[in-house]
Amino acid sequence: MDFTHRGEYREAKNTIVRYEEVLQLLNIPKSDPLWGALLSQRIIAGNDLWETVKVEELDELVAQAHQPGWEKILPLMLIRQAELNLRTGRFEIGKKQMDVLLGMDLELKNRFSCLVDLAVWTFSQGLLNDSIKHLKEAEMLIPQIPDNLELERRLSGTLTFPLIVNGDLDSAERYAKRAIELATLLGNRSSEGTNWAQIGKIVMARGNLDAAAIAKKRAIFLFKSTGGKNVCFSQFGLAQIYLEQRKYKLALLEFQNAYRHEDYEVWYRLGESTAWAGLQRWQEMLEELDLVDQRVPELACVDFELIELTDIGIRVCRDAGQKTAQIRFHQMKSKFCEKLNLVDEMKKNDEILSSLV
């Protein structure tokens, strides 16, 4: 669907809903594969809008997809089912489903989707090398698939994330720039925004905070122009740059003004607590950290940026001589390291924590 390829997910979803309404008016039974095709597109559009399709709705259509007439749509429905399970925290089920799919004789385009979805999941679990491996395997399929610019755009943008965390900034920059080039060509402003945000992260890692802020602001503009809710990540990124520059009031305002969604409450509350620490408002800092503590056990996925925020909080509290506050940030970091399976980093952090207690 053109809307989806252009990153206009709200328009895509609205168009799909209208199609579904027409099917209902025509009394088209749920056994018709048209329902599966539309639901598959609605899932794609909903991912960027953070509007997750109900698992029961998808499971019902997957059961239908084993009937005659669904042969072409069945693999796609199974991929969406596995993807939805991974996205909503049913990791073991989703992983097993992906493994089964990759063992099937899939069309190359469907195999590509499985590998990229699996890479996104392994990245969220801190398995960087596995994530890069899946993406490199997907990359090898692209030349064999016709009309592959959209696939290359998706691959390039996705591969940027683990490469940055792995410290391969030159490769990450090359893929991010290619993703921006393709997103511009395809008219996908949402993807442009995502990858400008990554450019900002790369430049920030190299120490050029002013250039990083410019890239993040460009990403925010692009996201806002499409109505994409992922604008919050760029707003968090800009606020983090302000924290690094010790512009704590600006950082606090950016976190407070960021688009709010309950799934990312931990991100903005941890950011606000770090900014409050920089302003030496210790009571406000502790109140925000208490709220973060309540939400951490519910987190299905943890981002590496949460660890970066705790590191800034540790530094700010240490420089201010606030031992109790510093301990709280170390404790928070241990929880994030555990969720990301960062064994060595957690051991190092816990040794420092032991010396403080």
* CATH (domain of 200): 1.25.40.10
Output the CA torsion 217→218→224→230 (10° steps).
Answer: -80
Residues 239, 180, single domain; the answer is yes
Q: Is there a single domain that holds both residue 210 and residue 267? A: no
- 88-92, 206-210, 224-228 — most confident range: 206-210
Nearest CA-CA partner of 270 in 332, 318, 212 = 332
317 and 267: one domain?
yes
Q: Of 44, 67, 93, which residue sits at a domain end? A: 93
pTM: 0.76
Give the span between the Cα atoms of 294 and 141, in whole angstroms: 43
Q: Are residues 29 and 74 in the same domain?
A: yes
Domain limit, last residue, from 93, 121, 153? 93
Q: Which of 11-25, 167-181, 323-337 has the lowest mean pLDDT?
A: 11-25
Total domains present in the chain: 3
* Structure confidence at residue 322 as a pLDDT band (50, 70, 90): very high
Q: How confident is the model at residue 138 (pLDDT cuts 50, 70, 90)?
A: very high
Q: Which residue has the tokens 């099917």?
A: 23
Q: What burial letters (b/e) apply to 186-220, b meaning 16+ CB within 10 Å?
A: bebbbbbbbbbbbbbbbbbeeeebebbbbbbbbbb
What's the token pair of residue 67? 């009937």
- When pLDDT is averaged across residues 98-120 and rounded to a whole number, the result is 89
Do 351 and 309 share a domain, yes or no?
yes
